[in-house]
Amino acid sequence: MELRQQEMAINRSAIKLFVKKKYLLTAILFLSFFFISYIYPSTEKKLTKPSEELSLLGRYLFYDTRLSYNQTKSCASCHDPSLAFSDGYRTAVGADGYAVRRNTPSLLNVRYRGSFTWGDSGIHRFDRQLFFPFFNQHPKELGWENEQAVGARIKNIPGYVALFNTVFPKHKTPISIKNIFYAITAFEKTIVSHASRYDAYLEGNESILTADEKAGMRLFFSRKLNCGTCHVWDPKNKLIPSRFENTGLYNLDMTGDYPRSDQGLYEITKNDFDKGKFRVPSLRNVLLTAPYTHDGSVSTVTEMIDIYARGGRKIEVGEHIGDGSQNPYKSKLIKGFSISKEEKENLISFLNCLTDTGYLKNKKLLFVALNK
Ligand code: HEC
Ligand code: HEC
């Protein structure tokens, strides 16, 4: 009996010690967490709700051609709000008038993307992406040689000096490339819209789609066409996952090569199986963002569907001759199918349900100019 009581007493103090230790441990964890987040504030986290002033500053910058080295281009020259923040060119045109190698993607809902750019799966942060338009040289986009030159330009514009002082009051040098990127990022995160008819349908308004559109939707998600297997987004969290696929657009010399100027994900991984793999684009507003694919080499949605129906693109003349349907690295999901004229029309009418111009009513996204 005594022994048992002793045992229980020992157990109790062990429990107490354990509980104390646990509290202590939790307290230490908590404190170190606060300490770390105080020293290294995460930019991403701070931006979940960008302040109005910060994103307004970013908006001024986004629409300002003084943001290019020779004052010819702004972000909006290539990401035009009237074209869902894309540009209508096959491939973008940089500050010197030379063609950039890739087609400009829409920036609508870009904050929900799993990764940025057509061919690199490793770029997840806006501030990393921003280095490309600012500093790319061959060809130039905004065309800057270095950060100092950008800073010098902005410091010469009194309106910006005042704005940066207001937005970054405690900073020693309010005008820095870091803060410029920070402001633009805040604006980019506000480029959001979920007002397409398909969004309404997903939210429960089933009668908003016509019978033809619903037939098109069934085709889109069918095993025969597989469109919905690759072009997915997560309606609940609005996330657009990144997936890289080869759709059989090229097959140079029957080797599986895409044009040397752009082999997609392969450029990053150097793995043959990644040749011709590009990020699956979001089809939101697809009818506003022609021409299509990474190099803008497909002019219309109809042409795109015909390529899928053939199981890949055959090019019969010119330097890119080859039958993409035989590309050894092509996705197994692209196997070709037969489709009637009516089915094709229904499919396109479904794609049209992904058009969402609701964002154009949000004045905070549109053009604004800082004159002085
Ligand atoms: C000369 C045209 C041009 C200019 C100027 C330009 N962009 Fe882009 N942007 C592009 C192209 C082309 C791509 C695709 C690049 C790639 O995939 O390699 C792109 C990609 C992006 C992406 C990634 C989108 C995605 O879906 O992956 C973001 C974000 C972006 N640009 C923002 C900006 C911002 C902000 C500015 C201004 C600081 C800017 N761009 C200036 C042409 C341009
Ligand atoms: C294996 C995955 C896959 C399947 C299946 C697929 N796509 Fe795609 N789709 C892609 C990829 C990847 C691209 C970009 C290819 C490139 O740039 O080289 C693309 C591009 C597109 C584009 C051009 C979008 C733009 O902004 O440039 C459209 C339109 C399109 N697909 C519609 C469809 C339709 C309709 C179907 C069904 C018939 C379909 N896709 C099936 C992966 C797929």
Ligand 1 neighbourhood includes 141 CB (under 6 angstroms): yes
- Ligand 1 pocket: which of 77, 129, 278 to mutate (most atoms within 8 A of CB): 129
Q: How far, in Å, from the CA of 200 to the mean position of ligand 2?
A: 23
Residues 343 and 201 in one domain: yes
Instruction: Out of 49-58, 84-93, 178-187, 254-263, pick the least confident.
Output: 49-58
Is 22 inside any structural domain? no
Ligand 2 neighbourhood includes 117 CB (under 6 angstroms): no
Q: pLDDT value at position 29?
A: 61
Q: How far, in Å, from the CA of 318 to the mean position of ligand 2?
A: 24
Ligand 2 neighbourhood includes 209 CB (under 6 angstroms): no
Cα–Cα–Cα angle for 42, 44, 49, rounded to 5 degrees? 115
Is 1 inside any structural domain? no
Q: In the predicted model, what is the mean pLDDT of the chain?
A: 90
Residues 186 and 206 in one domain: no
Ligand 2 neighbourhood includes 290 CB (under 6 angstroms): no
Boundary (domain end) residue, out of 143, 165, 192 = 192
Two structure tokens written together for 336: 């070709």
Ligand 2 neighbourhood includes 294 CB (under 6 angstroms): yes
- Ligand 2 pocket: which of 283, 350, 353 to mutate (most atoms within 8 A of CB): 283
Is 3 inside any structural domain? no
Q: How far, in Å, from the CA of 203 to the mean position of ligand 1?
A: 31
Residues 97 and 188 in one domain: yes
Return all residues near 145 (Cβ < 8 A) that are at least 6 apart.
Answer: 69, 135, 137
pLDDT at 8 over 80: no
Q: pLDDT value at position 10?
A: 46
Mean pLDDT over 184-195 rounds to 96
Ligand 2 neighbourhood includes 307 CB (under 6 angstroms): no
pLDDT digits (tens, 9 = 90+) for 283-308: 999 999 999 999 999 999 999 999 99
Residues 300 and 350 in one domain: yes
Ligand 1 neighbourhood includes 135 CB (under 6 angstroms): no
Ligand 1 neighbourhood includes 331 CB (under 6 angstroms): no
Residues 127 and 163 in one domain: yes
Boundary (domain end) residue, out of 160, 192, 224 = 192
Whole-angstrom CA distances from 41 to 34, 46, 50, 63, 121 are: 10, 7, 14, 28, 25
Is 366 inside any structural domain? no
Q: pLDDT value at position 25?
A: 61
Ligand 1 neighbourhood includes 220 CB (under 6 angstroms): no
Tally of domains within the chain: 2
Return all residues near 51 (Cβ < 8 A) that are at least 6 apart.
Answer: 167, 186
Residues 181 and 233 in one domain: no
Rounded Cα gap, residues 129 and 132, in angstroms: 6
Residues 201 and 187 in one domain: no
Is 266 inside any structural domain? yes
Instruction: Out of 36-50, 247-261, 352-366, pick the least confident.
Output: 36-50
pLDDT at 213 over 90: yes
Q: How far, in Å, from the CA of 139 to the mean position of ligand 1?
A: 13
Ligand 2 neighbourhood includes 198 CB (under 6 angstroms): no
Q: pLDDT value at position 372?
A: 81
- The CATH number given to whatever domain includes residue 138 is 1.10.760.10
Residues 171 and 223 in one domain: no
| pLDDT bucket at 237, cuts 50 / 70 / 90 | confident
Q: How far, in Å, from the CA of 232 to the mean position of ligand 2?
A: 11
Residues 172 and 63 in one domain: yes
Selected residue with higher pLDDT from 346 and 45: 346
CA–centroid distance for 197 within its chain:
22
Domain encompassing residue 323: 197-357
pLDDT digits (tens, 9 = 90+) for 26-80: 665 655 554 444 444 444 444 445 689 999 999 999 999 999 999 999 999 999 9
Rounded Cα gap, residues 311 and 327, in angstroms: 10
Of all residues in the chain, the percent with pLDDT exceeding 70 is 87
Rounded Cα gap, residues 174 and 170, in angstroms: 8
Is 37 inside any structural domain? no
Boundary (domain end) residue, out of 167, 192, 217 = 192
Residues 308 and 204 in one domain: yes
Return all residues near 193 (Cβ < 8 A) that are at least 6 apart.
Answer: 108, 109, 356, 358, 359, 362
Q: pLDDT value at position 234?
A: 82
Nearest alpha carbon, ligand 2 atom 34: 227
Ligand 2 neighbourhood includes 56 CB (under 6 angstroms): no
Residues 169 and 219 in one domain: no
Is 228 inside any structural domain? yes
Ligand 1 neighbourhood includes 92 CB (under 6 angstroms): yes
pLDDT at 90 over 80: yes
Q: Exposed, middle or buried: residue 155 (CB in 10 Å: 0-12, 13-18, 19+)?
A: middle
Atom number, ligand 2, closest to the C-alpha of residue 295: 17
Mean pLDDT over 201-213 rounds to 97
Residues 335 and 293 in one domain: yes
Is 372 inside any structural domain? no
